[in-house]
Homo-oligomer: A and B are copies of this chain.
Amino acid sequence: MSNSYGSVFRITTFGESHGAAVGVIVDGCPAGLEITTEEIQQALDRRRPGQSDITTPRKEEDKVTILSGMFEGKTTGTPIAMVVNNKDQHSHDYSHIAQAFRPSHADYTYTTKYGLRDYRGGGRSSARETVARVAAGALAAKLLQHHGITVQAYVSQVGPVKLRKPYHKLDLSQIDSNKVRCPDGKIAARMIGVVEEARDNLDTIGGVVSCVIKGVPAGLGEPVFDKLHAELGKAMLSINAVKGFEYGSGFEGVKLNGSQHNDQFYTDDEGNVRTRTNNSGGIQGGISNGQDIYFNVAFKPVATILQPQTTINDAGEEITLQGKGRHDPCVLPRAVPIVDAMAALVIADFLLRQRVNKL
């Protein structure tokens, strides 16, 4: 039940890290949307391993195939299935982790939950599952583009290095100008240093991805339980390694008085309703108010480290475990397209849900 996300624009993902393939069915994409396989592929290429020396050096092409739901270059309203085959899924040696419960991994919890687990590369708990999300997100982003909505995520913190400028003082066209995906070149250089240091220490480091969504019309999001920010929060927290979510003024805003925090409405020269400040993060009462939506997502350091660690095996015996293979010292750069994808999926879903609220 838990492998689906979305209410109208709804995705269902499948696949294990080292199984035959990972993929997704998108059900509920409106008919008539023009999109090409190349557009999906471009999104996947931003997530692909091996794209720089601060990500995992694994080389995987992650070529996507669309199996259904398209005809003559357009969506037909029927489910769109997309598959990415896994490479070399039989070539690995998992003897060191088959019985181990790796620290801060999902080995123990999956085994407890299901009574067994596919231990190859973390199985379903691997971040490889996000391939499917990025493919579906590219489709959602195309729908948003059709409605003039853009989603732009970027790295705003790596370890202690924090980008303090708010999003509206950044040149977001520069997000992909460096390998850490921080739009400020100077801060980016310092972030890269932090990642390289962690990598060289056989260690890993956490960080924060920030995201801005522009062009969302007022009225999106549902009151009460499916508030726009509640769904954004769930979507972000469903990404591997995420530990926190805040939008608008967030955790800092709790220190303010109401008189400082409130966003006053005014009518601009073109007759549009706007707010003078945007502590609300573009959302009031769970519903978009037409201002920019922005939020932060906290990622913990990657759990797989190349140092020896003490843990236990499935017999409860203490063992020493050392990560091997090619892992990311920091997920942040590759997390950016995943945050983009999940945000696009949330907005696409609410865009369609909003169509039924008036007579």
- Report how far A10 CA is from B66 CA in the complex, Å: 22
A185 at the interface (CB under 8 A from B): no
Question: Is there an interface contact between B123 and A76, defined as CB atoms closer than 8 Å?
Answer: yes
Binary contact readout A198-233 vs B (1 if CB under 8 angstroms, 0 otherwise) = 100101111110000000001111111111011101
Question: Is there an interface contact between A14 and B25, defined as CB atoms closer than 8 Å?
Answer: yes
Binary contact readout A247-275 vs B (1 if CB under 8 angstroms, 0 otherwise) = 11111011111111111111100010101
Question: Is there an interface contact between A245 and B244, defined as CB atoms closer than 8 Å?
Answer: yes
Of the stretches A30-38, A39-47, A171-179, the one at the interface is A30-38
Question: Is there an interface contact between A224 and B253, defined as CB atoms closer than 8 Å?
Answer: no
Nearest-Cβ distance from residue A81 to partner chain B, whole angstroms:
4
Interface size on A, residues (CB 8 A): 154
Number of copies: 4
Question: Is there an interface contact between B116 and A71, defined as CB atoms closer than 8 Å?
Answer: yes
Question: Is there an interface contact between B31 and A359, defined as CB atoms closer than 8 Å?
Answer: yes
Binary contact readout A297-315 vs B (1 if CB under 8 angstroms, 0 otherwise) = 0111111110101111000
Question: Is there an interface contact between A68 and B113, defined as CB atoms closer than 8 Å?
Answer: no
A55 at the interface (CB under 8 A from B): no
Q: By CB atoms of chain B within 10 A, which of A160, A204, A283, A290 has the most?
A: A204
Question: Is there an interface contact between A247 and B258, defined as CB atoms closer than 8 Å?
Answer: no
Question: Is there an interface contact between B71 and A206, defined as CB atoms closer than 8 Å?
Answer: no
Name the interface residues of A63-93: CB closer than 8 Å to any CB of B.
Answer: 65-69, 71, 74, 76-81, 83
Question: Is there an interface contact between B104 and A263, defined as CB atoms closer than 8 Å?
Answer: yes
Q: By CB atoms of chain B within 10 A, which of A71, A118, A301 has the most?
A: A301
Given A3-B25, A225-B5, A243-B249: A266 in contact with B312 (beta carbons within 8 A):
yes
Q: Choose one: B104, B113, B279, B289; the contact of A357 (CB below 8 Å).
A: B113
Name the interface residues of A283-299: CB closer than 8 Å to any CB of B.
Answer: 283-290, 296, 298-299
Nearest-Cβ distance from residue A145 to partner chain B, whole angstroms:
12
Given A7-B1, A68-B16, A358-B32: A258 in contact with B301 (beta carbons within 8 A):
yes
Residues of B within 8 A of A50 (CB): none
Residues of B within 8 A of A117 (CB): 71, 76
Question: Is there an interface contact between A285 and B125, defined as CB atoms closer than 8 Å?
Answer: yes
Given A243-B251, A246-B298, A273-B101: A354 in contact with B14 (beta carbons within 8 A):
no
Question: Is there an interface contact between A224 and B124, defined as CB atoms closer than 8 Å?
Answer: yes
Question: Is there an interface contact between B251 and A298, defined as CB atoms closer than 8 Å?
Answer: yes
Residues of B within 8 A of A15 (CB): 67-68, 79, 81
The 6 closest A-B pairs by CB, nearest first: A106-B285, A244-B246, A2-B222, A204-B258, A206-B254, A109-B287
7 further contact pairs, Cβ within 8 A, besides A4-B4, A265-B312, A267-B318: A3-B225, A20-B65, A30-B357, A76-B114, A129-B224, A237-B245, A258-B305
